[in-house]
Amino acid sequence: MKVVFHDDFYAVYTSDPAAAPGRMEAVVAEIGSLAEFVEARPAAAAQLALAHTTSQIESVSNLGLYSMAALAAGGAIQAAAIGLTESCFALVRPPGHHASAGSCWGFCYFNNMAVALSVLKLEGAIETAYVLDIDLHFGDGTVNILNDRDWVTVHNVEAVDRDGFLDEVAQAMAACQADIIGISAGFDYHRDDWGGLLLTEDYFEIGRLVRESATRSGGGCFAVLEGGYNHQVLGANVKALIRGMSEPSE
């Protein structure tokens, strides 16, 4: 399975948990045997402007984080484009789902998912899209940017127990009809992470449900890394998701 990544994502760019040392290394070490790595390229300013105001872009630049954040958004664009024909994972940071058009918080700067889907839509590659956000924290930025765009549905999973979580994903995917499904792939709901809810095997099931829904719709799917902060389990959780998203032949 193709995984969009860049060695620059190893850099510790701030003191927050998403930027912690060893986080990317833990994932790469676990998924290396499954991944066909594709080098990420930065998003262009015009692509970022599809989801963000000029003042927000300037603010991120003033923080000294433009290069890293633009690279993450660019990696998400690439993963979405690849996802049209084969499942793909964007192993990028900073995360993005708390970044709104003109503001950001929660370790996010540019909304990687919103930028990626907006680029695909502008280029005519898709007519419809569906965002499944499985992160512990509500993806307010993605909602703020995309919720008024009638071509995309944003679904933050809200169930508070394990069975309910998986049932909610299953029901959503059974009803989903979209040209592409993007997973805002936070792993902080894991039993050994902040949320204390899901098992590693559950991420495989989520990936499988998304892939099968995309196949039924004749569309594609991709995922973009959001949260997930326990380095001891993060790699295994990412591996489970990408295995579930992969075609059986892979």
248 cis-preceded (ω within 30 degrees of 0): no
Tally of domains within the chain? 1
Q: Is residue 102 part of a domain?
A: yes
* Three-state secondary-structure class, residue 171: helix
Q: Is residue 198 part of a domain?
A: yes
Q: Is residue 237 part of a domain?
A: yes
Helices (H) and strands (E) in the chain, counts: 9, 7
Q: Residue 250's pLDDT is what?
A: 42
Query: What does the block give as tokens for 127?
Result: 């007519």
Q: Is residue 250 part of a domain?
A: no
Q: Is residue 8 part of a domain?
A: yes
DSSP-H helix ranges across the chain: 23-31, 45-48, 54-62, 66-83, 112-122, 140-146, 162-175, 200-217, 231-245
87-129 pLDDT per residue, tens: 999 999 999 999 999 999 999 999 999 999 999 999 999 999 9
Q: Is residue 55 part of a domain?
A: yes
Domain that holds residue 29: 2-245
Q: Residue 239's pLDDT is what?
A: 98
Rounded to a whole number of angstroms, the CA Rg of the chain reads: 16
CATH code for position 174: 3.40.800.20
Within the chain, which residues score under 70 in pLDDT? 247-250
Q: Residue 248's pLDDT is what?
A: 63
57-98 pLDDT per residue, tens: 999 999 999 999 999 999 999 999 999 999 999 999 999 999
Q: Residue 249's pLDDT is what?
A: 41
Greatest pairwise CA separation for the chain in angstroms: 46
Query: What does the block give as tokens for 221?
Result: 């799917």
Give the integer Cα–Cα distance in Å for 45 and 40.
Answer: 16
